[in-house]
Amino acid sequence: MRYLQHKKTGRKFAYTEILARHPDLKEVGTDTAPKKAPQPAETAEPARQEQKTPDEIVTESGAVRVGDADKDALATYAERHFGTKLDKRKSQADLTDQVRELIKTHGHPDFD
């Protein structure tokens, strides 16, 4: 493959007739060596797959993503499924984190 290189920046481009006419580009050669396929890196340990818990909870109004549920839904869900009362005076982000932590710790009651 033929290449063109920008004189000031050194950036290389694939050769085209139109680009070859540009005064700041010069031809820098060809690449005739066959390309080798990248080899996967070998690791000492096999890759562990983390168990993913669904990011969905089932509320009275149906399935809702934990991040999209409002404070009332999160508090009701935590109390009903885990017996934990959440402090609704905290921010919604804190309540979301608490519910995700409960799901991570105890398992997901809706999907187990």
> Smallest Cα–Cα separation from 69: which of 80, 84, 53, 57?
57
Residue with tokens 């932590």: 101
Range of the domain at 7: 1-32
Structural domain includes residue 39: no
Tens of pLDDT along 43-93?
A: 555 555 444 456 777 766 667 778 888 899 889 888 888 889 999 999 999
Same-domain pairing of 102 and 62: yes
27 and 64 housed in the same domain: no
User: Does residue 112 fall inside a structural domain?
Assistant: no
Cα–Cα distance measured from residue 64 to residue 85, given in angstroms and rounded to the nearest whole number: 20
Which residues in 16-110 belong to E strands, given as ranges? Answer: 25-30, 56-59, 62-65
> What is this structure's pTM?
0.48
Helix (H, G, I), strand (E, B) or coil at 88: coil
Say what the pLDDT of residue 19 is. 82
Same domain, residue pair 61 and 99: yes
Q: How many domains does one find in the chain?
A: 2
53 in helix, strand or coil?
coil
In a domain, 45, yes or no: no
37 within a domain of the structure (yes/no): no
Domain contains 44: no
Reference 74, options 62, 57, 53; nearest CA is 57
